[in-house]
């Protein structure tokens, strides 16, 4: 299998990560941490990976992704200040003020619920009053517990399914159905929860 050709089939994805090494897992976790952490931890229960490596790489992947988005925001922010030295007060400034006052809650909401977490982090990066160290401190306080939770969910869910699969002949089909279900649940959670939060705010 070509290294650059990432399979879309969930079962093949696990095998692909296992055969390609942990580096590809790290890259994928930098792009979509929670989902890949769940799938990788699920793979741990079937003997494909080491749980501690999954947790470590998930934390490093989140750190890398957050850093990239934050620095992108920094670059964008410098460009805005260069060409717009006098930014009028308005909705954007009010939003920035709320983010600054509620930085921890903003990052938590972005990581758990928002499908646009990268955009939120980039927006935080545009705010020169928030240093990289301050952002990363808050981010890691959220990331580490979330990674452990995602890894535990994936592992124990996989362990339970493994016991069930012992009594099912169509093992491969069942695995695909289960992993696809995990993906749909995570995506549905990240898409529907923000809408629910917005309705509650109204």
Q: Are 125 and 73 in contact (CB under 8 A)?
A: yes
In this structure, which long-range contacts are made by residues 191-196, counting pairs with CB atoms below 8 Å and at least 24 apart in sequence? 191/115, 193/112, 193/113, 194/109, 194/113, 194/114, 194/115
In this prediction, residue 139 carries a pLDDT of: 93
- Boundaries of every domain in the chain: 16-201
In this prediction, residue 2 carries a pLDDT of: 41
In this prediction, residue 67 carries a pLDDT of: 94
Q: Are 73 and 117 in contact (CB under 8 A)?
A: no
In this prediction, residue 65 carries a pLDDT of: 92
- Residue 83 DSSP one-character state: H
In this prediction, residue 141 carries a pLDDT of: 94
Compute the distance between CA of residue 41 and CA of residue 51 in angstroms, rounded to an integer.
Answer: 6
In this prediction, residue 7 carries a pLDDT of: 45
The structure's pTM equals 0.69
Compute the distance between CA of residue 148 and CA of residue 93 in angstroms, rounded to an integer.
Answer: 35
With a cut of 50, list the residues of the chain below it in pLDDT: 1-8, 85-86
Q: Give the H/E segment covering residue 70.
A: helix 51-83
In this prediction, residue 129 carries a pLDDT of: 86
In this prediction, residue 25 carries a pLDDT of: 85
In this prediction, residue 93 carries a pLDDT of: 66
């Amino acid at each position: 299998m070509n290294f650059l050709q990432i399979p879309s089939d969930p079962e093949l994805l696990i095998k692909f990560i296992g055969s390609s090494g942990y580096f590809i897992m790290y890259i994928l976790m930098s792009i979509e941490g929670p989902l890949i952490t769940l799938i990788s931890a699920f793979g741990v229960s079937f003997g494909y990976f080491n749980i501690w490596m999954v947790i470590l790489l998930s934390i490093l992947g989140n750190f890398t992704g957050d850093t990239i988005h934050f620095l992108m925001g920094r670059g964008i922010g410098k460009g805005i200040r260069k060409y717009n030295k006098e930014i009028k007060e308005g909705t954007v400034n009010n939003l920035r003020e709320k983010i600054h006052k509620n930085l921890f809650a903003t990052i938590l909401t972005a990581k758990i619920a928002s499908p646009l977490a990268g955009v939120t982090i980039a927006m935080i990066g545009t705010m020169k009053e928030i240093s990289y160290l301050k952002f990363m401190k808050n981010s890691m306080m959220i990331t580490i517990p979330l990674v452990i939770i995602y890894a535990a969910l994936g592992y124990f869910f996989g362990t339970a399914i493994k016991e069930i699969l012992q009594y099912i002949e169509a093992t491969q089909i069942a695995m695909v159905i289960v992993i696809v279900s995990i993906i749909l649940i995570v995506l549905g959670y990240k898409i529907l929860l923000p809408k629910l939060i917005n309705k509650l705010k109204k």
